Amino acid sequence: MVTPLATTTTALVSPGLDLERSFSQALEGLGLAPDVAHLIWLPLPMLLVLVAAVVGVLVTVWLERKISAAVQQRIGPEYAGALGVLQPLADGLKLLVKEDIIPARADSLLFTLGPVLVVVPVILSWLIVPFGQNLLVSNVGVGIFLWISLSSIQPIGLLMSGYASNNKYSLLGGLRAAAQSISYEIPLALAVLAIVMMSNSLSTIDIVNQQTGAGLLSWNIWRQPVGFLIFWICALAECERLPFDLPEAEEELVAGYQTEYAGMKFALFYLGSYINLVLSALLVSVLYLGGWGFPIPVEWLAGWMGQSVDAPLVQVITGTVGIVMTVLKAYLLVFFAILLRWTTPRVRIDQLLNLGWKFLLPLALVNLLVTAALKLAFPVAFGG
Amino acid sequence: MTIAASTQLICFLVLAAVVAIGGLGVVLLSNIVYSAFLLGGVFMAVAGLYLLLNASFVAAAQVLVYVGAVNVLILFAIMLVNKREDLAPIPGLQTRRLLSGGVCAGLFALLVRVALTTPWAVPGPQAVGEGSTVRIGEHLFTDYLLPFELASVLLLMAMIGAIVLARRDVQATDLGTGQAADQGLIEKSRTPLLVDQPPS
């Protein structure tokens, strides 16, 4: 097979911590062929990432409810579990058992397929999110480019559900979503390209490794401040978050392309948008905030304590710190996104398209050119 | 046969079937929206075939360009002129269909003949795998530089042409009909709705 779907294992992992090998050996001890053991191992990392994505969504929904309440000086959910932490679960359960309605004049096939096409690419993109040196589903060579191309499938699902609903608000919402998505994809890709140019690789692992030299100071945000802003604005626009939530602008379009949806299909849209938000935040932290890197390099800390970096205990601690740092950075960005949603007004559609095509696109091009020039002039600091 | 090889074979058969059946569906379905969505599926299956050939960069580029840009543009165009009415009957539709079917069958026969008579070098050259991105970049900036630049000039020309056609204020007369272009549609000076109205 071409796509290596298992966790990549390099020589850096000490043998005792290589989960794939111990798992395979345990199964082979039970009398299974190595091929079969590998086949049983394959779905496990993917399942783990899927569960992580869904749990991430639940946490984000709870944060959204609590922070919006705080912004508006309300209390927010408080009866479902301590501080209302079980509220998202209750929401999910409600959507799960709700009646699934397909409008009589809607195109039922496309109506069902639309939400699926929106969610699947977003979940697939989790393939490339690294939580540590060896903690990702697949270190594919095209890495970040895979995410860009997968996220371009989403507008088709939105157009499909907008069209199939047989409702003018849905169609308008779908068209707006597609227009917004293809306009902001270009500056987004150009901002990513500047990063890729500095790290000489599309792989997310290499991009993070290139930022780990001097801890906090070597993060890409200092070298790409403009790129960071462009990426963040475009990521918010791709996620259809306020101030860019025009496709579902309540006052104009009822709820845009999701107007006719109920039950599980609506839940898929809901899930998709929140998974996308968490994914975007994770990728911002990978591309600009040093990924799993601790503000002070872990190697220095281990050196001060007189420990070897390759010792098993140190590796476990390093891995844990990596996961915690990635999630922490991502949720800090999610917090900013939620705060933005509840404090900023919505832009108009012409303002949105003007911002994308006439401001962000030229700015991203200039950023790319400046990065190329700086890379030629100062190869030490900008990854020669 | 190992598990990996049989998985590869099954993937190839499924993808090839999707490409062939989907392609037929794109041409034969009467609902143009279904055709456009099916076209997206066919593009995805072609990307899957590239993946099977160890060309992951080409596969990602295929998805980005063909599914994410070309197909979305086609859908956009269809939905902006979203008319749910039957087209006017075309005279001699049956003859036209037979003629185009004949042309397509001829092309198909030609392609099959070429595929059967060409001496394919089996097995092909060693797959580059993850290094293909670097290799493609090297080729684009050395021996394929001229075609690459020509393609970009062509795209630029198409873009300028599209802008000229869309902005009718550039021409005094409509290119299609020859009548005077309606300048009023393009830039209306906006009059505020609520001020300057006589109090009722």
pLDDT in tens, A33-74: 777 777 777 788 788 888 888 888 889 999 998 898 988 888
Q: Which of A73-77, A211-215, B110-114 has the lowest mean pLDDT?
A: A211-215
Per residue in B122-175, pLDDT tens?
777 777 777 788 888 888 889 999 999 999 999 999 989 888 877 766 556 666
Q: Tell me if B72 and A35 make a contact (CB, 8 A cut-off).
A: no
Q: What is the pLDDT of residue A2?
A: 34
What percentage of chain A exceeds 90 in pLDDT?
11
Per residue in A152-205, pLDDT tens?
888 898 888 888 888 888 888 888 888 888 888 889 999 999 998 888 888 888
Q: Write the CA distances from B188 to A4, A114, A281, B106, B183, integer angstroms.
A: 57, 38, 42, 53, 9
Whether residue A137 contacts residue B48, with contact meaning beta carbons closer than 8 Å, is answered with: no
Select from A24, A142, A203 the residue whose CB has the most chain B CBs within 10 Å, as the one to mutate to test that interface.
A142
Q: Tell me if B68 and A140 make a contact (CB, 8 A cut-off).
A: no
Q: What is the rounded average pLDDT for all residues in chain A?
A: 83
Per residue in B34-63, pLDDT tens?
888 999 999 999 999 988 888 888 888 899
DSSP B42-102: HHHHHHHHHHHTT-HHHHHHHIIIIIIIIIHHHHHHHHHT---SPPPPPTTHHHHHHHHHH
Would you call B101 an interface residue with chain A, using a CB distance cutoff of 8 Å? no
Whether residue A69 contacts residue A75, with contact meaning beta carbons closer than 8 Å, is answered with: yes
- H helices within A200-297, ranges in order? 204-209, 220-223, 225-238, 250-253, 263-288
Q: Tell me if B79 and A150 make a contact (CB, 8 A cut-off).
A: no
CB neighbourhood size of A94 (10 A): 11
Per residue in B61-119, pLDDT tens?
899 889 888 898 888 888 877 656 666 777 788 888 899 899 999 999 999 999 999 88
Of B40, B60, B82, the CB nearest to A145: B60
Q: Tell me if B68 and A185 make a contact (CB, 8 A cut-off).
A: yes
Q: Tell me if B76 and A171 make a contact (CB, 8 A cut-off).
A: no
Which residue type sits at A78? E
Beta bridge mates, B180: B173
What residue in B sits closest to A144 (Cα-Cα)?
B60
Q: Tell me if A145 and B57 make a contact (CB, 8 A cut-off).
A: yes
* Residues 6 or more apart in contact with residue B130 via CB below 8 angstroms: A140, A141, B56
The whole-angstrom distance between residue A367's C-alpha and the CA centroid of its chain comes to 23
Of A35, A36, A149, the CB nearest to B68: A149
Hey, is A83 helix, strand or coil?
helix
Helix (H) or strand (E) holding B20: helix B3-28
Q: What angle do CA B23, B28, B32 make, to 5 degrees?
A: 95
pTM exceeding 0.95: no
Helix A43-71, helix A87-97: angle, nearest 10: 110
Q: What is the pLDDT of residue A8?
A: 39
Beta bridge mates, B173: B180
Q: What is the pLDDT of residue A77?
A: 84
Would you call A2 an interface residue with chain B, using a CB distance cutoff of 8 Å? yes
What residue in B sits closest to A173 (Cα-Cα)?
B79
The yes-or-no verdict on residue A309 having pLDDT over 50 is yes
Q: Could you tell me which of A135, A172, A193, A145 has the C-alpha nearest to residue A369?
A: A193
Of B51, B63, B79, the CB nearest to A171: B79
Q: Looking at this predicted complex, what is its ipTM?
A: 0.81
Burial of A352 (0-12, 13-18, 19+ CB in 10 A): buried
Would you call A55 an interface residue with chain B, using a CB distance cutoff of 8 Å? no
The whole-angstrom distance between residue B121's C-alpha and the CA centroid of its chain comes to 30
